[in-house]
C-alpha cells in the first residue's frame, strides 16, 4: 500500500528533485505540497518538467491537512524549517533537508548559523541523516536531519579512515568543486549564467563554510578528540555534482583497503579500483557516490576523491533513502535510476 | 518473466542510453552486448556511469550467441547496421536505431546516403518506428527502423497538421536547435568542448540533411502529394535536446486544437495550453515530448515548437517504447522517468 | 589629444563592455562614470576584470560635472535614459545605448514600450545608430540612438536585399539565437545558470519582441511600403552572440552578390564566400559581423545567416564606432580586437 | 619599424592566440606561418575568427624563408619542437611554447617526457620564460622556453614565498582547476563537449603531471634544497582559465605582504587586498594574473589562490611578453587588452 507523502518547500530545487524521484517510486503517493510563495499554483507552472505528473496543487503550509500523511519532507530554508517543524503534529514522521537539525550542540548551531534555535526539543530527537552510518537510528527515528551536500561528500571520503586511524587527523584538506544547483533557486548576481558560465572561483575560503560544523561534530565524535579539517569549496560552471579532492597523510593502499571494505555492501557507495578516481559526470542525476584513492609521489600521502550529485545523494536522494528506512521500505526503492550521461 | 535483450553497438551514446533505461525496466535483462572495437572490455570501463549494473562483457558481434535472445537493439553506425542485421537470425526481433531501414524507396535511400543498400529484403519488412503513428504495425513487426531524432521532432509537430489539411503544404520551415550528443561519440574537431562551448552555428544548410529523406517520405505519404519542407539544423552548446521551431501558414488556434486532439491520449506527447511553448530543459533525460503553438502577429501564420531529448524520445527511448510493444509489454514500461532538471 | 568620456550606467554589461573597449583606445579617456545604485564604489569592486585600469569612482549621475566632457555614453535602462538625457547639457554629444530614441514615431514608441515619451524634443534630433547605413548623419549628430542588438543583426542580413528588391517582402522569417548577456545583469529566475545551462527555448514568440518596432520602421522606410517580418528569438546557453537565420524567397546567388557588394568596403561586415555560413564563436568579443548565404534545395529560396556579438557590434562596439565618427576619429579606432576563440 | 614575425604551429590554439594578440600589436608583422598538416590553406579556413586579418598562407616549415624574420614563435608539439628548432638559423631569435627547453637537466627531461633530447646544444642556451623572474636573461636571450601554463600559475603563487622563507617547504599542496583549451585542439574522446560539459574530474593524480618537473627545478633552485610539492590538476568545463588553490603553512598576513611587495610594480600580476581571492572569469582572454591570500581558520595556515588564462598569460601572452623584451619593445605592448567578461 502506498504511503502518503507531503513535501514542504516544493518550489525549490530539492523539492522538485524529491518529486522527480518519487515519481517512479512504487509505494509513495504525494498527497500534499507546500510552497508559501507559490500557493495556489500548479507544480507544472513552477516546474514544467514535472507536468506529466498528477500532483496536488501547491498550498500554504498552514492550510495542509496532515491527518492522513505518513511522512513529510521539509525542503524549506534554514531557520524557517525549525519553526515549521516545531508546529507539525508530533506523531508525523519527518525528513528535514535544511541545516536546522544537523548540529547536536545548540552552541555550535548558534556559532555557525548566527541565530538561536527555535525548536530545541525537536533537535533533541533528531537523527543525523547520513544513511550508511546512522541506519539503525534512522529506521527508528521520527525526525531525521538531512546532511549538508558538501558534508556528505567529505564524510564518505573520510569517516572510515578516521574510524580506523589510518590517517593523520591534523592534516586533512578538503578541496571541493561544487556545481551551482547547490546554491538553490535564489536570485543572486553571481549565480546568473552570464556571470558563472566559463568561469570558476573559490568561496567561503578560510574555514567559514557552515558545513564545517558538521565535519567538526562528526569527525571529532568518531576520533574521540577534536578534528578540524581545512575545507575550501569552489563554484564550478555545471548544474549538478560535487567532487571532493581530499589530501591526507597515510598509506594509500591501506586507505583504499579500508574504504573498500567499509563500503563493500553499500548499494550506493562504489569504491573504484586502487589508482582510479571518479568524475561527477558519471553520477549525475543518480543516488550513487563514486570514490577513488590514489597514492601521491610523496610517500605517506594519498589523495581520496569522492563524487556525488548534490541534489540526489547530497540531499533529496539521501532524504528518500532515509524515508524508505523510516517507512519500512527497502532502502533502495525508487533510487536505482542510472546516472544520466552524457 | 524477463525478456532477454541483446544490444549491438553498446559503446556509443545510444547504446549507453538503452542500458540506462533498461536498468530500471522490470521485465528486461541484458544478456549480450556487442561492441567490436571494445570487445573484451567491461561496460564500466567504457561508460563508468553504468558501473553499478551487472552487465555482460562487451563482445564482438560475431561471437554473440543469439539463441536465447528475445529482442536485439542495433545501435550501430549507418551502413554497418544493414550488413549486421542481414546476417542475424531471421526469427530474432530487432529494433534498429540506425538510418538503414527508415526509407522505403531504395532510390531515395541511395540518394540521401550515397551507398546502395545491402539488405533490401530486410528493408521490405521494416516498419517505420514513430511509435504513435505506427503502433499497430510495430506491435506485429519483426524489424522496426528507429527514426532520425530530428525527423521525430519535426513529425510530432507536423503530422496531424498535414493529415488534417490545416496548414499550407508549400511553406513549411523547420528551424531546429540540436544538442551535441546527436552527433555521437565521434572524434571530430567541431565537437570538441573548446570549439563548441559558448558558440553555435547552423549545419547542413540548404536542404542537404539526411533526415529530409524521412520528412519527404512521411509528409508526402500523409498528404498524398509531394511535400518538401525547408529544414535547417543548428548545433547548440548543450548535451541533450532538440528544439524545433516550425513556421507554418494556417490558423493558429485551429492548429493547436488539431495537435491537442491528436495527442490527447498519448502518454509521452504533451501539448501545452495555447500560446505556451516548451524548453528542452524540461524534457531532458526523459521520453517526453512537449509541444506548443503560438499565433504570429501576422494573421494566418503560426509557430509550432516541439522539444524532446534526442537520446531518449529521439532514439533510445523510442526504441525501448517500440520494443515494449513488440514484446507485449505495456508501452510505457521503464520509460516514465521524470526529466532531470536542473 | 584624448577626448574626455563619460559613461552613465557603468555597472551594467554594456557599460562594462564600453570600458573594456575604451581601455585600449588611444584617444579616449574616461573621466566620469555614473551608476546610481553603486555610487561611491570603485569599478574594480563591481567588475573585477577591469581592476587593472585607473578609472574614476562611480558617481550618482546628478553629481557628475559634465563641463569638460566631450562625449557621453548612456547605458541606462529604457525609460530612465530619456529622462536623464533630457536634462543633460544641450551641447553634449551623446551616444545612447537604450531603446529610448530608436523609434521616430512616438505612437510606435508608445505601442512597443507602453509608456509615453518624456523627451520628444531630443528624439527629434536623434539619429538611428546603425553605423554603416547612417554614417553621414551620425558624423554630424549630437545624439545617436544605438540600435537593438537583435535589430542590428537582422538589418545587416536584410537591408541591402530589401533596398535592391531581390527578395519577397511578404515572406521574411528571422529565427534568432541569442546569448544570455543580451538580457543584462538582471536578477531573473530564468537567467540563473542552473535554469539556463544545458537548455534552450524561444521567447517573445509570435511577433511581440520590441525590436520588431525597429524592423518595421527601417524595412518599411527602405521599401517605401509596409514590411512586416516574422521574428522569433531563442535564448541559448552561451554568454555572447547572436545568430540570425533568415529565411527569404529570392535567388540565392543574386542575394549573395548584393550583400557582398554592399559590404565590400565595410571594415566590420564580412560576407563569406557563397555557400558558407558563420558561427558565433568566430566573432566573440569583437566588433565583426560575419554573413553567409546558402541556397535552399527549393528553388527561389535562400537562407541568410548573420552572426555578431550582442555586447560588441550589437551595442557597445557599435556605440564606440559611432562615437569615433562623432569625434572625428577613424571609425575603427579601438575596435580592431580580434575575436576571442576558443 | 615593424619586426617580422614567423609563427610555427599556427594551426593550434596557442598559434591562433599568438595571431589574435599580434593582430593589435603596433610593431609586429606576421610574415610567415608554418603548419605542416594544413600547408597551403588560408588561416581563415583553419581559424575563421581571424578572417579579417591579412595573413600569409600556411606553409610547410621547411619551405619557410627565415632570412628576413626577426623572431620566430614555435607553437609546435613537444618533441617535434626540439627537432625543428635545432635546424633553424642560429641567429634567429626564438620563443618556444613547447615543453622541450624548460628543464635544464637532461636527465629530468628524460624522466618526465620519456624521450632523450635531440637538441641539447640549444637547451644549453635556453632561458626559462617566466618573465617576471627571468627578465634580464630573457632580454639577452636568443632562445626562450615558455613555461607550462600550470607551472606558471603555481609559480606566481609560490616563488616569492619560497624565496623569503615564509612557508613550510614540505607541505605545499597545489590543487589546480584547468580549462579545456589547455589540452589543445587534439581529438580525444574525453575532450568532446558531450563528455566534458556538465562534468569535471581530476587527472594526472598523484604527482605524475609533467609540469612537476618545472616546479621541482624552480622551487628547489630558489630554496637551495629539494622542494617537492603535491600537485593535482582538474579538468573543468570551461574553455579558458586556470585557478590554483594553494595550501601552505605560514602566517597568512605575512604571506600576503610578501606577495604584494614582490609584485607591486608588475604590470600583469595583481595582488588583491588581503582576504579577497580571484576568479578565472575576471582574467579571461587577457594577460593578467590575479592573486589572493586568505587565512585559514587554523592558525598558521593560509590559502593562496591564483588565476590566469592558460592561453594568454599561461602561454601565448607570456610568449609575446618575452618577445617584446627580446626585440627591445616595451614589455606590455599589444598585451593590455582588458579581460573579456561576461
Nearest chain B residue to D179 by CA distance is B194
pLDDT at residue number B270: 98
Using 50, 70 and 90 to split pLDDT, how confident is the model at A157? very high
- H or E element, residue C118: none
Can the peptide bond before residue B342 be classed as cis, meaning omega within 30 degrees of 0? yes
Average pLDDT on C2-10 reads 97
Residue A76 and residue A178 in one domain: no
Q: HEC string of chain B? A: CCEEEEEECCCCHHHHHHHHHHCCCCCEEEEEEECHHHCCCCHHHHCHHHCCCCCCCEECHHHCCCCCCCEEEECCCCCHHHHHHHCCCCCCEEEECCCCCCCCCHHHHHHHHCCCCCCHHHHHHCEECCHHHHHHHHHHCCEEECCCHHHHHHHHHHHHHHHCCCCCCCCCEEEEEECHHHHCCCCCHHHEHHHHCCCCEECCCCCCCCHHHHHHHHHHHHHCCCCCCEEEEEECCCCCCEEEEEEEECCHHHHHHHHHHHCCCCCCEEECCCCCCCEHHHCCCCCCEEEEEEECCCCCEEEEEEEECCCHHHHHHHHHHHHHHHCCCCCCCCCCCCCCCC
pLDDT digits (tens, 9 = 90+) for B120-165: 999 999 999 999 999 999 999 999 999 999 999 999 999 999 999 9
- Judged by CB atoms closer than 8 Å, whether chains meet at A340 and B20 is answered as yes
What is residue D238's predicted lDDT score, i.e. its pLDDT? 97
- The stretch B167-174 carries a mean pLDDT of 98
Check residue A193 and give its pLDDT: 96
Q: Quote the pLDDT of residue C1.
A: 74
Q: State the pLDDT at residue B320.
A: 98
Residue A340 inside a domain? The answer is no
C140 touches chain A (CB under 8 A): no
Residues of chain A neighbouring D194 (CB-CB closer than 8 A):
342
Q: What is the pLDDT of residues A285-315, one digit of tens each?
A: 999 999 999 999 999 999 999 999 999 999 9
- Choose, out of D19, D20, D52, D273, the residue to mutate when testing the contact with C (most C CBs < 10 Å): D52
Residue B161, domain member (yes or no): yes
Q: Which residue has the cell 547536536?
A: A104
Which residues of D fall within a CB distance of 8 Å from A237?
236-238
Contact B207 C297 (CB under 8 A): yes
The answer as to whether D262 is a domain residue is yes
CA of A247 vs chain B CAs: smallest distance (Å) = 24
Write out pLDDT tens, residues D173-217.
Answer: 999 999 999 999 989 999 999 999 999 999 999 999 999 999 999
Residue C140 and residue C226 share a domain: no
D176-186: pLDDT as tens digits: 999 999 999 98
Q: Is the CB of C238 inside 8 Å of chain A's CB atoms?
A: yes
B260 assigned to some structural domain: yes
Whether residue A243 and residue D200 make contact (CB cut-off 8 A), yes or no, is yes
Q: Do D177 and A296 touch (CB under 8 A)?
A: no
Cross-strand pairs, D248 = D302
Residue C337, classed as helix, strand or coil, is coil
pLDDT at site D339: 98
- Which of B199, B238, B274 is most worth mutating to test chain C (most C CB atoms within 10 A of its CB)? B199
| Touching chains, A (3+ CB pairs < 8 A) | B, C, D
Top residue of A240, A281, A310, A341 to mutate, by most chain D CBs within 10 Å, is A281
Q: What is the 3-state secondary structure (H, E, C) of chain A?
A: CCEEEEEECCCCHHHHHHHHHHCCCCCEEEEEEECHHHCCCCHHHHCHHHCCCCCCCEECHHHCCCCCCCEEEECCCCCHHHHHHHCCCCCCEEEECCCCCCCCCHHHHHHHHCCCCCCHHHHHHCEECCHHHHHHHHHHCCEEECCCHHHHHHHHHHHHHHHCCCCCCCCCEEEEEECHHHHCCCCCHHHEHHHHCCCCEECCCCCCCCHHHHHHHHHHHHHCCCCCCEEEEEECCCCCCEEEEEEEECCHHHHHHHHHHHCCCCCCEEECCCCCCCEHHHCCCCCCEEEEEEECCCCCEEEEEEEECCCHHHHHHHHHHHHHHHCCCCCCCCCCCCCCCC
Among all residues of C, which ones are annotated catalytic? Answer: 149
Closest-CA distance of chain B to residue C253, Å: 13
Q: Does any CB of chain A come closer than 8 Å to the CB of residue D254? A: no
Give C-chain residues touching B232 at CB under 8 angstroms.
Answer: 245, 303
Do residues D61 and D92 share a domain?
Answer: yes
* Predicted confidence (pLDDT) per residue in A49-91, tens digit: 999 999 999 999 999 999 999 999 999 999 999 999 999 999 9
| C335 in any annotated domain | no
C159 in a structural domain: yes
Give the distance from residue B190's alpha carbon to the nearest chain A alpha carbon, in angstroms.
17
Among D41, D182, D194, the residue to mutate for chain B (most B Cβ within 10 A): D194
> Is D177's CB within 8 Å of A303's CB?
no
State the burial class of residue B327 (Cβ atoms within 10 Å of its Cβ: 0-12, 13-18, 19+): middle
pLDDT at D170 over 90: yes
- Are D223 and D104 in a shared domain? no
Per-residue model confidence as pLDDT tens digits over C160-211: 999 999 999 999 999 999 999 999 998 999 999 999 999 999 999 999 999 9
The predicted structure's pLDDT at residue A279: 98
Give the active site residue among D74, D122, D149, D178. Answer: D149
- Together in a domain, B155 and B302: yes
- Mean pLDDT of all residues in D55-65: 97
In the 8-state DSSP scheme, what is residue C283? T
CB contact under 8 A, D294 and A206: yes
- Mean of the per-residue pLDDT values of chain D: 97
Q: What is the pLDDT of residue D156?
A: 98
CB-based contacts of B210, cutoff 8 Å, min separation 6: B99, B112, B113, B148
**pLDDT exceeds cutoff 80 at B252:** yes
A-chain CB neighbours of B54 within 8 Å are none
Position B1 scores a pLDDT of 74
Q: What percent of chain A has pLDDT over 90?
A: 99
Exposure pattern of C278-305 as b/e (b: 16+ CB <10 Å)?
Answer: bbbbbbbbbbbbbbbbbbbeeeebbbbb
Q: Are strands C301-308 and C242-249 parallel, antiparallel or unpaired?
A: antiparallel
Q: By C-alpha distance, which of B295, B323, B317, B230 is closest to B18?
A: B317
Query: What is the overall mean pLDDT for chain C?
Result: 97
Nearest to A195 among D171, D207, D342 (CB): D342
Q: Is there a contact between B173 and C173 if contact means CB atoms under 8 Å apart?
A: yes
Q: Answer yes or no: is pLDDT of A97 > 90.
A: yes
> So what's the pLDDT on residue A1?
74
Do B284 and B158 share a structural domain?
Answer: yes
Residues D166, D306, single domain; the answer is yes
**Residue B290 sits at the chain A interface (C-beta within 8 Å):** yes
* Amino acid A52: pLDDT: 97
**How many whole angstroms separate alpha carbon D3 and alpha carbon D25?**
10
Within 4-43 of D, beta carbons closer than 8 Å to C belong to 13, 16, 19-20, 23-24
D305 and D182, same structural domain? yes
Q: Is B314 on the interface with A (CB under 8 A)?
A: no
Specify whether the CB–CB gap between D143 and D85 falls below 8 A: yes
Whether residues D131 and D81 share a domain: the answer is yes
Residues 292-311 of C with CB under 8 A from B: 294-298, 301, 303, 305, 307
Q: Of B24, B270, B311, which has the smallest distance from its Cβ to A337's Cβ?
A: B24
The predicted pLDDT at position C157 comes to 98
Distance from CA of C135 to the nearest CA of A (A): 32
Residues above pLDDT 90, as percent of chain C: 99
Question: What CATH number has the domain bearing residue C319?
Answer: 3.40.50.720
Are D135 and D247 in the same domain?
no
Contact residues, chain D, for A243 at CB < 8 Å: 200-202, 234
If asked whether residues A180 and A119 sit together in one domain, one would say no
Question: Are residue A269 and residue A208 in the same domain, yes or no?
Answer: yes
Instruction: Name the burial class of residue B244, with classes exposed (0-12), middle (13-18) and buried (19+) by CB atoms within 10 angstroms of its CB.
Output: buried
Closest-CA residue of chain A to D249? A171
Query: Which residue in chain D is spatially nearest to C198 when comparing CA positions?
Result: D198
* Cβ-nearest to C53 among D53, D240, D338: D338
The reply to whether C202 touches chain B by the CB within 8 Å rule is yes
Candidates B192, B198, B238; nearest CB to D192: B192
Instruction: Establish if C333 belongs to a structural domain.
Output: no
Task: Say which of A198, A243, A298 has its CB closest to residue D238.
Answer: A198
> Considering its fold, how many domains does chain C have in total?
2
Does D32 map to a domain? yes
- Above 90 in pLDDT, residue D272? yes
Q: How confident is the model over D143-154, as pLDDT tens digits? A: 999 999 999 999
Domain of residue A260: give its range: 150-310
Q: Which chains touch B (3 or more CB pairs under 8 A)?
A: A, C, D
- Cβ proximity of A342 and B309 under 8 Å: no
For position D284, which CATH number holds? 3.30.360.10
Amino acid at each position: 500500500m502506498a504511503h502518503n507523502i507531503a513535501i514542504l518547500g516544493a518550489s525549490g530545487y530539492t523539492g522538485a528533485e524529491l518529486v522527480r524521484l518519487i515519481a517512479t517510486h512504487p509505494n509513495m503517493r504525494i498527497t500534499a505540497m507546500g510552497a508559501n510563495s507559490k500557493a495556489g499554483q500548479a507544480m507544472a507552472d513552477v516546474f514544467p518538467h514535472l507536468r506529466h505528473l498528477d500532483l496536488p496543487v501547491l498550498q500554504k503550509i498552514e492550510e495542509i491537512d496532515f491527518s492522513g500523511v505518513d511522512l513529510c519532507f521539509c525542503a524549506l530554508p534554514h531557520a524557517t524549517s525549525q519553526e515549521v517543524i516545531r508546529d507539525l503534529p508530533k506523531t508525523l514522521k519527518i525528513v528535514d533537508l535544511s541545516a536546522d537539525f544537523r548540529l547536536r550542540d545548540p552552541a555550535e548551531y548558534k556559532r555557525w548559523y548566527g541565530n538561536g534555535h527555535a525548536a530545541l526539543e525537536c533537535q533533541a530527537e533528531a537523527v543525523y541523516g547520513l544513511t550508511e552510518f546512522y541506519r539503525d537510528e534512522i529506521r527508528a527515528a521520527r525526525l531525521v536531519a538531512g546532511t549538508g551536500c558538501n558534508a556528505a561528500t567529505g564524510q564518505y571520503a573520510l569517516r572510515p579512515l578516521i574510524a580506523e586511524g589510518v590517517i593523520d587527523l591534523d592534516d586533512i584538506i578538503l578541496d571541493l568543486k561544487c556545481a551551482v544547483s547547490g546554491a538553490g533557486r535564489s536570485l543572486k548576481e553571481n549565480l546568473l549564467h552570464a556571470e558563472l558560465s566559463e568561469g570558476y572561483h573559490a568561496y567561503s575560503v578560510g574555514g567559514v563554510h557552515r558545513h564545517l560544523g558538521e565535519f567538526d561534530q562528526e569527525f571529532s565524535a568518531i576520533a574521540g578528540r577534536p578534528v578540524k579539517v581545512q575545507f575550501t569549496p569552489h563554484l564550478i560552471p555545471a548544474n549538478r555534482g560535487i567532487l571532493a579532492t581530499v589530501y591526507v597523510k597515510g598509506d594509500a593502499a591501506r586507505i583504499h583497503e579500508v574504504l573498500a571494505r567499509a563500503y563493500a555492501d553499500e548499494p550506493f557507495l562504489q569504491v573504484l579500483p586502487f589508482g582510479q578516481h571518479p568524475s561527477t559526470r558519471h553520477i549525475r542525476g543518480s543516488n550513487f557516490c563514486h570514490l577513488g584513492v590514489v597514492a601521491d609521489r610523496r610517500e605517506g600521502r594519498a589523495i581520496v576523491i569522492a563524487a556525488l550529485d548534490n541534489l540526489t545523494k547530497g540531499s533529496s536522494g539521501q532524504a528518500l533513502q532515509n524515508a524508505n528506512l523510516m517507512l519500512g521500505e527497502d532502502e533502495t526503492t525508487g533510487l536505482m535510476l542510472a546516472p544520466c550521461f552524457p
